[in-house]
Amino acid sequence: QLQLQESGPGLVKPSETLSLTCTVSGASISSSSYYWGWIRQPPGQGLEWIASIYYSGTTYYNPSLKSRVTISADTSKNQFSLKLTSVTAADTAVYYCARKEVGSSYGFDYWGQGTLVTVSS
Amino acid sequence: DIQMTQSPSSLSVSVGDRVTITCRASRSITRYLNWYQQKPGKAPQLLIYAAWSLQSGVPSRFSGSGSGTNFTLTISSLQPEDFATYFCQQSDSTPYTFGQGTKLEIK
Protein backbone atom coordinates (compact mmCIF):
# COMPACT_ATOMS: atom_id res chain seq x y z
CA GLN A 1 0.00 0.00 0.00
CA LEU A 2 1.40 3.36 -1.05
CA GLN A 3 2.13 5.74 1.79
CA LEU A 4 3.61 9.22 1.89
CA GLN A 5 4.90 10.76 5.11
CA GLU A 6 6.00 14.35 5.60
CA SER A 7 8.68 15.23 8.12
CA GLY A 8 10.41 18.38 9.23
CA PRO A 9 10.33 21.16 11.80
CA GLY A 10 6.92 22.37 12.89
CA LEU A 11 8.22 25.82 13.78
CA VAL A 12 10.37 28.05 11.61
CA LYS A 13 11.50 31.59 12.37
CA PRO A 14 10.72 34.44 9.98
CA SER A 15 13.34 34.96 7.25
CA GLU A 16 14.68 31.42 7.72
CA THR A 17 14.33 28.40 5.44
CA LEU A 18 11.54 25.85 5.71
CA SER A 19 12.74 22.32 4.91
CA LEU A 20 10.46 19.32 4.57
CA THR A 21 10.97 15.75 3.40
CA CYS A 22 8.43 13.29 2.05
CA THR A 23 9.25 9.63 2.48
CA VAL A 24 7.46 7.33 0.06
CA SER A 25 6.80 3.66 0.78
CA GLY A 26 5.03 1.15 -1.41
CA ALA A 27 6.14 2.74 -4.68
CA SER A 28 9.30 4.04 -6.26
CA ILE A 29 9.73 7.74 -6.95
CA SER A 30 11.91 6.62 -9.85
CA SER A 31 8.81 5.47 -11.72
CA SER A 32 8.26 7.21 -15.05
CA SER A 33 4.49 7.12 -14.47
CA TYR A 34 4.23 9.74 -11.73
CA TYR A 35 5.07 13.22 -10.57
CA TRP A 36 5.71 13.90 -6.89
CA GLY A 37 4.74 17.22 -5.44
CA TRP A 38 3.99 19.57 -2.59
CA ILE A 39 0.73 21.35 -1.84
CA ARG A 40 -0.03 23.62 1.10
CA GLN A 41 -3.10 24.85 2.92
CA PRO A 42 -3.06 27.82 5.30
CA PRO A 43 -5.28 27.30 8.34
CA GLY A 44 -8.95 27.56 7.35
CA GLN A 45 -8.10 28.36 3.74
CA GLY A 46 -7.83 26.68 0.35
CA LEU A 47 -5.17 24.60 -1.35
CA GLU A 48 -2.11 25.90 -3.20
CA TRP A 49 0.12 23.77 -5.41
CA ILE A 50 3.78 24.58 -4.73
CA ALA A 51 5.96 22.36 -6.93
CA SER A 52 6.36 18.93 -8.53
CA ILE A 53 9.28 16.79 -9.61
CA TYR A 54 9.57 14.01 -12.18
CA TYR A 55 11.86 10.98 -11.92
CA SER A 56 14.15 12.52 -14.54
CA GLY A 57 14.76 15.46 -12.23
CA THR A 58 12.56 17.84 -14.20
CA THR A 59 10.93 20.31 -11.85
CA TYR A 60 7.82 22.43 -12.04
CA TYR A 61 7.16 25.42 -9.80
CA ASN A 62 4.30 27.72 -8.99
CA PRO A 63 5.46 31.11 -10.35
CA SER A 64 4.11 32.79 -7.22
CA LEU A 65 6.71 30.95 -5.14
CA LYS A 66 9.36 30.02 -7.69
CA SER A 67 11.99 32.50 -6.49
CA ARG A 68 11.94 30.94 -3.01
CA VAL A 69 11.27 27.25 -3.65
CA THR A 70 13.43 24.26 -4.47
CA ILE A 71 12.12 20.72 -4.87
CA SER A 72 14.58 17.84 -5.06
CA ALA A 73 14.62 14.07 -4.88
CA ASP A 74 16.83 11.40 -3.37
CA THR A 75 16.01 8.21 -5.22
CA SER A 76 18.35 6.14 -3.03
CA LYS A 77 16.16 6.96 -0.02
CA ASN A 78 12.90 7.12 -2.00
CA GLN A 79 12.36 10.63 -0.69
CA PHE A 80 11.72 14.04 -2.12
CA SER A 81 12.13 17.37 -0.39
CA LEU A 82 10.98 20.97 -0.32
CA LYS A 83 12.94 24.05 0.65
CA LEU A 84 11.23 27.42 0.99
CA THR A 85 13.48 30.35 1.78
CA SER A 86 12.82 33.69 3.47
CA VAL A 87 9.61 32.54 5.11
CA THR A 88 7.05 34.88 6.62
CA ALA A 89 3.87 34.36 8.61
CA ALA A 90 2.05 33.98 5.28
CA ASP A 91 3.87 30.68 4.78
CA THR A 92 2.22 29.18 7.86
CA ALA A 93 0.25 26.23 6.54
CA VAL A 94 -0.27 22.50 6.51
CA TYR A 95 2.13 21.15 3.92
CA TYR A 96 1.16 18.00 2.03
CA CYS A 97 3.21 15.82 -0.25
CA ALA A 98 1.27 14.03 -2.97
CA ARG A 99 1.54 11.89 -6.08
CA LYS A 100 0.11 12.67 -9.49
CA GLU A 101 0.03 10.34 -12.47
CA VAL A 102 1.64 11.65 -15.65
CA GLY A 103 -0.88 13.24 -18.00
CA SER A 104 -3.34 16.09 -17.74
CA SER A 105 -6.23 13.72 -17.07
CA TYR A 106 -5.10 12.85 -13.58
CA GLY A 107 -5.34 14.42 -10.15
CA PHE A 108 -3.34 13.93 -6.97
CA ASP A 109 -4.33 10.42 -5.98
CA TYR A 110 -2.20 9.77 -2.90
CA TRP A 111 -1.45 12.30 -0.19
CA GLY A 112 0.55 12.37 2.99
CA GLN A 113 -1.26 13.19 6.21
CA GLY A 114 0.16 16.71 6.15
CA THR A 115 2.42 18.57 8.53
CA LEU A 116 1.68 21.94 10.09
CA VAL A 117 4.50 24.43 9.77
CA THR A 118 4.17 27.61 11.78
CA VAL A 119 6.33 30.62 11.00
CA SER A 120 6.88 32.57 14.18
CA SER A 121 9.70 34.02 16.23
CA ASP B 1 -2.76 31.17 -14.18
CA ILE B 2 -6.14 29.50 -14.62
CA GLN B 3 -8.56 30.74 -11.98
CA MET B 4 -11.04 28.23 -10.57
CA THR B 5 -14.28 29.54 -9.09
CA GLN B 6 -16.54 27.27 -7.07
CA SER B 7 -20.10 27.89 -6.00
CA PRO B 8 -21.60 27.95 -3.55
CA SER B 9 -18.95 28.44 -0.87
CA SER B 10 -21.18 26.65 1.63
CA LEU B 11 -24.37 24.66 1.50
CA SER B 12 -26.77 23.55 4.23
CA VAL B 13 -28.10 20.14 3.33
CA SER B 14 -29.77 17.08 4.80
CA VAL B 15 -29.05 13.39 4.59
CA GLY B 16 -30.66 12.02 1.45
CA ASP B 17 -30.48 15.30 -0.45
CA ARG B 18 -29.18 15.54 -3.99
CA VAL B 19 -26.27 17.98 -3.94
CA THR B 20 -24.74 19.87 -6.84
CA ILE B 21 -21.54 21.90 -6.67
CA THR B 22 -20.25 23.90 -9.61
CA CYS B 23 -16.78 24.90 -10.68
CA ARG B 24 -15.87 27.35 -13.41
CA ALA B 25 -12.48 27.78 -15.04
CA SER B 26 -11.23 31.12 -16.32
CA ARG B 27 -10.45 29.52 -19.67
CA SER B 28 -11.14 26.18 -21.32
CA ILE B 29 -9.51 23.20 -19.65
CA THR B 30 -11.30 20.62 -21.87
CA ARG B 31 -11.99 17.85 -19.34
CA TYR B 32 -8.92 18.25 -17.10
CA LEU B 33 -10.85 18.87 -13.91
CA ASN B 34 -10.60 16.92 -10.65
CA TRP B 35 -12.71 16.88 -7.50
CA TYR B 36 -11.56 16.25 -3.93
CA GLN B 37 -13.25 15.73 -0.59
CA GLN B 38 -11.57 16.97 2.56
CA LYS B 39 -12.64 16.25 6.11
CA PRO B 40 -11.36 18.29 9.07
CA GLY B 41 -7.76 17.51 9.94
CA LYS B 42 -7.36 15.16 6.99
CA ALA B 43 -5.71 15.32 3.60
CA PRO B 44 -7.91 15.79 0.54
CA GLN B 45 -9.12 12.63 -1.13
CA LEU B 46 -9.47 12.37 -4.90
CA LEU B 47 -13.07 11.60 -5.88
CA ILE B 48 -13.33 12.34 -9.60
CA TYR B 49 -10.63 12.86 -12.23
CA ALA B 50 -10.85 14.03 -15.82
CA ALA B 51 -14.23 15.64 -15.15
CA TRP B 52 -16.32 12.47 -14.81
CA SER B 53 -14.09 9.45 -14.11
CA LEU B 54 -14.70 7.94 -10.69
CA GLN B 55 -11.55 7.26 -8.67
CA SER B 56 -11.21 3.67 -7.51
CA GLY B 57 -13.01 3.00 -4.23
CA VAL B 58 -15.22 6.08 -4.39
CA PRO B 59 -18.96 5.41 -3.98
CA SER B 60 -21.08 5.65 -7.10
CA ARG B 61 -23.31 8.32 -5.56
CA PHE B 62 -20.54 10.74 -6.57
CA SER B 63 -20.50 11.84 -10.20
CA GLY B 64 -18.95 14.58 -12.27
CA SER B 65 -19.85 16.27 -15.50
CA GLY B 66 -18.87 19.16 -17.71
CA SER B 67 -16.20 20.25 -20.12
CA GLY B 68 -14.57 23.43 -21.30
CA THR B 69 -15.08 25.93 -18.50
CA ASN B 70 -18.10 24.63 -16.58
CA PHE B 71 -18.11 21.56 -14.36
CA THR B 72 -20.38 19.97 -11.80
CA LEU B 73 -19.97 17.55 -8.92
CA THR B 74 -23.16 15.76 -7.93
CA ILE B 75 -23.86 13.65 -4.87
CA SER B 76 -27.03 11.74 -5.65
CA SER B 77 -28.13 11.00 -2.09
CA LEU B 78 -26.09 12.59 0.64
CA GLN B 79 -24.82 10.27 3.36
CA PRO B 80 -23.70 11.30 6.87
CA GLU B 81 -20.06 10.70 5.99
CA ASP B 82 -20.30 13.14 3.05
CA PHE B 83 -20.37 16.25 5.24
CA ALA B 84 -17.03 17.74 4.28
CA THR B 85 -15.43 20.40 2.11
CA TYR B 86 -15.12 19.80 -1.62
CA PHE B 87 -12.50 21.31 -3.92
CA CYS B 88 -12.12 21.34 -7.66
CA GLN B 89 -8.67 21.47 -9.27
CA GLN B 90 -7.51 21.92 -12.85
CA SER B 91 -4.76 19.70 -14.19
CA ASP B 92 -4.69 21.22 -17.67
CA SER B 93 -1.50 23.17 -17.03
CA THR B 94 0.85 24.31 -14.31
CA PRO B 95 0.49 26.05 -11.99
CA TYR B 96 -2.22 23.62 -10.95
CA THR B 97 -4.95 25.63 -9.25
CA PHE B 98 -7.81 24.80 -6.91
CA GLY B 99 -11.21 26.27 -6.30
CA GLN B 100 -11.80 27.92 -2.95
CA GLY B 101 -13.91 25.04 -1.66
CA THR B 102 -17.54 24.25 -0.89
CA LYS B 103 -18.40 23.26 2.67
CA LEU B 104 -21.41 21.01 3.17
CA GLU B 105 -23.09 21.68 6.50
CA ILE B 106 -25.92 19.88 8.25
CA LYS B 107 -29.23 21.68 7.87
Which of B42, B52, B96 should one mutate to test binding to chain A, selecting the residue with the greatest count of A CBs within 10 A?
Answer: B96
Cβ atoms of A97 and A29 within 8 Å: the answer is no
Burial of residue A63, with CB atoms counted within 10 A of its CB: 0-12 exposed, 13-18 middle, 19 or more buried: exposed
Compute the nearest-CA separation of B78 from chain A (Å): 23
B83 touches A: beta carbon within 8 Å: no
Quote the CA–CA distance of A21 and A4 in Å, as a whole number: 10
Tens-binned pLDDT, residue by residue, of chain A (121 aa): 999 999 999 999 999 999 999 999 999 999 999 999 999 999 999 999 999 999 999 999 999 999 999 999 999 999 999 999 999 999 999 999 999 999 889 999 999 999 999 999 9
Q: What is the pLDDT of residue A7?
A: 98
**Sign of the alpha-carbon torsion through B101, A102, A98, A63:** negative
